Amino acid sequence: AQSVTQLGSHVSVSEGALVLLRCNYSSSVPPYLFWYVQYPNQGLQLLLKYTSAATLVKGINGFEAEFKKSETSFHLTKPSAHMSDAAEYFCAVSDEGGTASKLTFGTGTRLQVTL
Amino acid sequence: NAGVMQNPRHLVRRRGQEARLRCSPMKGHSHVYWYRQLPEEGLKFMVYLQKENIIDESGMPKERFSAEFPKEGPSILRIQQVVRGDSAAYFCASSPPSFYNEQFFGPGTRLTVL
């Protein structure tokens, strides 16, 4: 069974500081990995995805994530936080091309950006 | 290209009533997924459907919940005899047939059971 662990349910950073949101996964098959962002009372928006190509993945809004198989990690980073980045972030894993293409989500990390 | 559409956005039901949630996938998408988000929790998979077929319903509660995706029209998630514990946000996602792991989410339906 697949699972995702997001360390830190709440992360607070100052505007302009580095953003680091942690995600570790467990999968018995090569995974597809995703980061989604959810703004209050809205649906999920895809930030970026890893699909077994390049291990460093660049997404929207200046975010990127690095797939590290040896650490089973897919941490999300952004060099400089902006107030508009305040939201909830979800890491998710899926089977690589399997029929069981459901996404398994982590419990989320709420990012707060302060002045 | 319009995104995934869900309606209603907000639904209030009294205990024992039925709730019907609708989802129209993006144009060209033939795969639909339903997820439930309880307060302060992540999304939990419920069911995966293709047109006229349920592919994976491993996350669906055994009773009171059902889903369909007919040949014509939106996908429907139906909850019979709702209870307070059904209060949650229900999200629908769709994906194209060529890459069904890339899922696009709708804005959700927030169900409140009084």
Stretch A59-87: mean pLDDT:
95
CA distance B109 to B86: 12
Quote the minimal CA–CA distance from A63 to chain B in Å.
Answer: 18
Task: State the average pLDDT over residues B52-56.
Answer: 91
Q: Distance from B102 to chain A by nearest Cα, in Å?
A: 8
Reply yes or no on whether the pLDDT at A100 is more than 50.
Answer: no
Please indicate whether residue B82 or residue B31 has the higher confidence score (pLDDT): B82
User: Which chain B residue lies closest to A43 (C-alpha atoms)?
Assistant: B107
Q: Which residues does chain B have within 8 Å of residue A36's beta carbon, measured at their own beta carbons?
A: 105
CB B23 within 8 A of CB B93: no
In chain A, residues with a C-beta closer than 8 Å to the C-beta of B91 are 43-44
Q: Which one-letter DSSP state was computed for residue B108?
A: -
Q: For B37-53, what is the mean pLDDT?
A: 89
pLDDT value, residue B99? 62
CB spacing of B108 vs A108 below 8 angstroms: no
Confidence bin at B91 (pLDDT 50/70/90)? very high
Mutate to test the interface with B, among A4, A6, A44 (most CBs of B within 10 A): A44
**Distance from A27 to chain B by nearest Cα, in Å?**
15
Mean pLDDT of B25-43: 89
> According to the model, what pLDDT value does residue A52 have?
75
Which pLDDT band, with edges at 50, 70 and 90, does A101 fall under? Answer: confident
pLDDT at A20: 97
Token pair in block for residue B22 = 């609708």
Q: What is the mean pLDDT of chain B?
A: 92
Suggest the residue from A101, A104, A107, A110 to mutate for an interface test with chain B (most B CBs closer than 10 A): A101
> Is A97's pLDDT higher than 60?
no
pLDDT(A96) > 60: no
**Using alpha carbons only, how large is chain B's radius of gyration in Å?**
13
- What pLDDT does residue A43 have? 85
Compute the distance between CA of residue A87 and CA of residue A89 in angstroms, rounded to an integer: 6
